[in-house]
Amino acid sequence: MPHCIIEHSATIPNGELNQKVFAGAMASNLFAPDGSDIKVRSIAYEHYQTGSKREDFIHVTIRILSGRNEESKMKLSHSVLEQLKSLSLSEASLTVEIVDIDRGSYAKCLV
């Protein structure tokens, strides 16, 4: 069920990036074994500022239904971060954030 939203500097190709985040979510073993419930999308930014010098960045927000314990959330964030670290990057900021989706207000429909 996770929605993995990747924001990154445009100099980082999103194809491999999407695959790495998907692999990290799979490696956490928190979701369907075939990965059918994992959704990954990315947004590349041309215009951004990172402190006083411009450097590449990747920030992944993973939205999951509320109810998971902190240990599971940490396992997920570290699993995705390990995959990101395997990319051939230098001088880049890598961050992963887990955000709970409120079960009571979440709506879904397949059409």
For tokens 């995705």, name the residue. Answer: 80
Which tokens go with 17?
């990036």
- The answer to whether 42 touches 9, Cβ cutoff 8 Å, is no
In tens digits, what is the pLDDT along the chain, a chain of 111 residues? 899 999 999 999 888 999 999 999 999 999 999 999 999 999 999 999 888 888 999 999 999 999 999 999 999 999 999 999 999 998 899 999 999 999 999 999 999
Of the candidates 39, 30, 14, 41, the one whose C-alpha atom is nearest the C-alpha of residue 73 is 30
The pTM is what?
0.94
Of the candidates 76, 56, 49, 63, the one whose C-alpha atom is nearest the C-alpha of residue 13 is 56
For the chain, what are the domain ranges? Answer: 3-101
- The answer to whether 40 touches 90, Cβ cutoff 8 Å, is no
Q: Which homologous superfamily does the CATH classification assign to the domain defined by 3-101?
A: Macrophage Migration Inhibitory Factor (3.30.429.10)
